[in-house]
């Protein structure tokens, strides 16, 4: 990984205005407690609970969380030689990527019992689904579509905005027909057209975690997007953040 970040949208003055992505800020609707020891790599809202995947060697887990209190209701650790990454729930299965091991662990959503392991050839970063296909990032500008039954690649897109390829796509969420992606080492979320790979919007979350929280906690980067389709709520958090936020987008 490197610390370089992609250029800001709209940097090329010769690009037609109609081709530029929309730009959004946010308002905070609710604030929830979040485990400051959780190195968040994936976040899902399902059946009234958060499901979270955490990373780091020797500390990677999947966990079920009560939103109102932040309490961990269930947790499963993976072997210390694996670095956990993005998670997704598809049907009754919970999928968990690993960073450099090329293995996707698949668990029973309710019991966290391991059901099967799938392999892949890239790094594993973010994971979500569109109701039919799993959608995966690997830290590049490529997003992969995979069969949930076999994890076989069945398609891919290259993600671009008006300035060119957008790299470091990290945690993913599928919201109203669009892919939302954290961009590693930034406070921005990209909204991506799943057909073309074109970025249709940028969400700027600068300042969402207060300076007080940053001074009193060891915090990492913004990472973690979850969506409650039943009530149209978006949630975000970050690695080692003490807070998790419900936000509303403002254009």
Task: Write down the pLDDT at residue 16.
Answer: 46
pLDDT at 1: 40
Closest residue by Cα to residue 211 from 179, 243, 167: 243
Domain 19-250: which CATH class? mainly beta
CA-CA distance, 72 to 66, in Å (whole number)?
7
Distance of CA 47 to the CA centre of its chain: 18
Q: Positive or negative, the Cα torsion across 174, 53, 242, 50?
A: positive
What's the confidence (pLDDT) of residue 18?
53
Q: Give this prediction's pTM.
A: 0.91
For 173-198, give one letter per residue: b (16+ CB within 10 A) or e. bbbeebbbbbbbbbbbbbbbebeebb
CA distance 213 to 216: 5
With beta carbons less than 8 A apart as the criterion, state whether 48 and 39 touch: no
Q: Rounded CA gap, 236 and 43, in Å? A: 8
Give the separation between CA 192 and CA 190, rounded to whole angstroms: 6
pLDDT of 49 reads 98
Give me 30's structure tokens.
């609710």
Q: Judging by DSSP bridges, how do beta strands 72-77 and 61-65 pair with one another?
A: antiparallel
Tokens of 45: 């809202």
Chain-centroid distance of CA 95 in Å reads: 13
Predicted pLDDT of residue 20: 85
pLDDT in tens, the chain (251 residues): 433 434 433 334 344 445 689 999 999 999 999 999 999 999 999 999 999 999 999 999 999 999 999 999 999 999 999 999 999 999 999 999 999 999 999 999 999 999 999 999 999 999 999 999 999 999 999 999 999 999 999 999 999 998 999 999 999 999 999 999 999 999 999 999 999 999 999 999 999 998 888 887 889 999 999 999 999 999 999 999 999 999 999 98
Q: Taking the domains of the chain in order of start, what are their residue ranges? A: 19-250
Tokens of 216: 């009193």
- The reported pLDDT for the residue numbered 8 is 36
d(CA 160, CA 181): 13
pLDDT at 48 (0 to 100): 97
CA distance 74 to 114: 14
**Both structure tokens of 141:** 């500008």
């Amino acid at each position: 990984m490197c610390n370089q970040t992609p250029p800001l949208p709209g940097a090329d003055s010769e690009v037609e205005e109609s081709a530029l992505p929309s730009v959004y800020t946010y308002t905070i609707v609710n604030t929830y407690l979040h485990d400051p020891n959780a190195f968040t790599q994936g976040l899902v809202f399902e059946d009234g609970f958060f499901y979270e995947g955490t990373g780091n060697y020797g500390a990677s887990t999947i966990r079920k969380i009560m939103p109102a209190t932040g309490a961990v209701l269930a947790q499963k650790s993976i072997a210390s030689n694996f670095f956990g990454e993005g998670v997704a729930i598809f049907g009754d299965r919970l999928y968990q990527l690993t960073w450099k091991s090329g293995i996707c662990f698949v668990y029973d959503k309710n019991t966290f019992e391991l059901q099967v392991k799938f392999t892949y050839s890239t790094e594993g970063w973010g994971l979500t689904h569109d109701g039919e296909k799993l959608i995966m990032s690997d830290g590049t500008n490529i997003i992969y579509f995979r069969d949930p039954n076999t994890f076989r690649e069945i398609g891919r897109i290259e993600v671009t905005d008006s300035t060119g390829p957008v790299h470091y796509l990290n945690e993913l969420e599928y919201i109203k027909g669009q892919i939302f992606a954290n961009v590693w080492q930034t406070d921005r979320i990209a909204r991506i057209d799943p057909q073309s790979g074109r970025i249709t919007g940028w969400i700027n979350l600068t300042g969402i975690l207060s300076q007080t929280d940053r001074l009193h906690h060891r915090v990492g980067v913004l990472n973690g997007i979850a969506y409650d389709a039943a009530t149209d709520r978006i949630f975000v958090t970050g690695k080692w953040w003490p807070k998790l936020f419900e936000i509303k987008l403002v254009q």
